[in-house]
Amino acid sequence: MDKDLYEILGIKKEATEGEIRKAYLKLAKKYHPDVNPGDKAAEQKFKEINLAYEVLKDEKKRAQYDQMRAMGANPFARARAGAGAGAGYAGPEGFDQFGLGDLFEEIFGGGGFKKSYYPTKGHDRESNLQISFMEAVKGGERLVQFTDGRRLTVKIPAGVDEGSKIKLTGQGDTGVSGGPAGDLILTLRVSEHPFFRREGNNVILRLPVTFAEAIKGSEVEVPTIDGMVHLKIPAGISSGQRLKMSGKGIHSAKSSSRGDQFVEILIKVPKEVPEEYKKAAALIEKNPFNPREGLTL
């Protein structure tokens, strides 16, 4: 086999990992022995394709191969039958340094082509799956249709977060020569919620309250991921202060623990301020309280 490994796959030396994989799959399907029964030339071509892919898909092996080729040596050069070893021929030892000694014997050994046809696992596929905030929090099932027409029911575990991955075993590319199918790896993208925000397994809610509720204290209904609950607001609370609601957060996807919900107070006043508010403000101004005390250089 005197051909350059890049030539075997029909790719450029600058080919990316994806381009190498795409070329390999196309050629492997074309020359697979099951597609070409009894065709010895196709068998040999299929073996060479597998060899080229095994070297070029591996970053370290590819670098070693490129280095040897740059020095003018082909570790996989093969003299014609009966002619003996030619210049640059490395034999099994050349394959062994790439960890492919067994494959050398399969391609050039006298035992013929093995029935296994060199089984290879299919490649994994990757895709993104957009889910809602509550789907990430609560989990559930989603029927997803992919670009190839397949429809799969995806189980979403409770507590997953942005960037979490779900592996669907055997839903990737079909294996070669009886090898297992690859997997489908879904990366979750979580949509923002209108008013909940997530910090780890804690839920943050900014709660608007009136000036009177903040001054006198009150009990109001607030949303949680489990529904509406009553919350006591202490008198004299300020904007930015947080009230903790223990155990009202998100169940961890990796343990039985659960986060908390923090309610962040946001004092709101009407855009058009009533006279009563202005009168109350005038009275408050008489109080010596200075909220900006200490903010001097």
What are the pLDDT digits (tens) for 37-58? 889 898 889 888 988 888 898 8
- Domain locations along the chain: 5-108, 125-190, 196-285
Strand partners for 151? 145
Please tell me what DSSP assigns to residue 173: S
Q: Do domains 125-190 and 196-285 have the same CATH topology?
A: yes
Phi and psi at 207, nearest 5°, equal -105, 115
The candidate with the shortest Cα–Cα distance to 75, out of 58, 96, 59, 60, is 96
Is domain 5-108 in CATH 1.10.287.110, yes or no? yes
Q: What are the tokens at 154?
A: 């995806």
Distance CA 287, CA 226 (A): 42
- Residue 285: the pLDDT is 84
CA–CA gap between residue 203 and residue 207 (Å, rounded) = 12
- Is the full-model pTM beyond 0.85? no
Residues constituting the chain = 297
pLDDT of residue 100: 55
Using the predicted structure, report yes or no on whether residue 117 has a pLDDT greater than 60. Answer: no
The CATH T-level fold of domain 125-190 is: HSP40/DNAj peptide-binding domain (2.60.260)
The DSSP 8-state label assigned to residue 121 in this structure reads P
Strand, coil or helix: 268: strand
pLDDT given for residue 281 in this prediction: 83
Once rounded to an integer, what is the mean pLDDT over residues 231-236? 96
For the purposes of burial, counting CB atoms within 10 Å of the CB of 49, is it exposed (0-12), middle (13-18) or buried (19 or more)? buried
Q: Which residues pair with 197 in a beta bridge?
A: 204
Whether residue 140 is predicted with pLDDT greater than 50 in this model: the reply is yes
Q: What is the predicted pLDDT for the residue at 55?
A: 85
Q: Report how far residue 285's alpha carbon sits from residue 297's, in angstroms, rounded to the nearest whole number.
A: 25
Reply yes or no on whether the pLDDT at 161 is more than 70: yes
Give yes or no for a contact between 183 and 169, defined as CB atoms under 8 angstroms apart. yes
| Span 242-270, average pLDDT | 94
Q: Which fold has domain 196-285?
A: HSP40/DNAj peptide-binding domain (2.60.260)
- For residue 23 the two structure tokens come to 């070329």
Closest CA to 207 of 267, 249, 261: 267
Tens-place pLDDT, residues 171-184: 988 877 677 888 99
pLDDT grade for 191, boundaries at 50, 70 and 90: very high
- pLDDT tens, 19-41? 998 999 899 889 988 788 889 89
Contact present, 193 and 205 (Cβ < 8 Å): no
The per-residue pLDDT for 73 is 65
Cβ 50 vs Cβ 98: under 8 Å: no
